[in-house]
Amino acid sequence: MLSNHGGAVLNNDRMMSAIIRYHVVAEKKMKMGDLHDGKLLETELELSELGHRKQVIRVVQLGKRRVLLNMYSRIIDSDMEAANGVVHAVSEVLMPPSNALEIATLLPAEFSIHALALHVTGMAKRVGNSNAISALVPSNTAWKK
């Protein structure tokens, strides 16, 4: 996601701060062997719109040494010792939960038609201010079919 839309994300200080905090897990020197299927890793990211709860990363184990984070980012190098912890290299930027309206407007190449429809129908304010919705957002390609 970041490779296609990195410019929009990199120019948004609030989003970049959230991404960085979402990559920090405050557990004691967690090694690869500690990452079992279904484990939730509590990150340093707290979102006010989600009740100030620490946001989590879900671990999915696909075999003895293959681990996915949030179903898409692989751990590609693990257990690199640091003075203050352990470093694990991941294949993809882990994207924290975002406001549904923010996602639609931050990624205009994907969702601009839907974002416009939200504004035209007056739903943008409701979606943007809601703390508990499920948004089924068609891509621009889907709207054009």
Residues 78 and 60 placed together within one structural domain of the fold: yes
Residues 22 and 40 placed together within one structural domain of the fold: yes
Q: For 58-70, what is each residue's pLDDT tens digit? A: 999 988 778 999 8
Please determine, for residue 104, whether its predicted confidence score (pLDDT) is greater than 80: no
Residues 24 and 48 placed together within one structural domain of the fold: yes
Alpha-carbon distance of 19 to 80, in angstroms, equals 21
Residues 105 and 72 placed together within one structural domain of the fold: no
Which residue is listed with tokens 């839907």? 114
State which residues form the domain around 79: 5-90
Closest CA to 45 of 7, 104, 97: 97
Instruction: Report which secondary-structure segment, H or E, holds 26.
Output: none
Residues 19 and 77 placed together within one structural domain of the fold: yes
- The domain boundary residue, chosen from 70, 90, 110: 90
Number of domains in the chain: 2
pTM of the predicted model as reported, rounded to 2 decimal places: 0.67
Residues 47 and 63 placed together within one structural domain of the fold: yes
Residues 15 and 40 placed together within one structural domain of the fold: yes
**Per-residue DSSP letters for 42-86?**
EEEEEEGGGTTEEEEEEEEE-SSS-EEETTTEEEEEEEEEETTEE
CATH number at residue 69: 2.30.180.10
Residues 73 and 137 placed together within one structural domain of the fold: no
Q: For 7-53, what is each residue's pLDDT tens digit? A: 666 777 888 898 999 999 987 789 999 999 999 999 999 987 777 88
DSSP state of 37: T
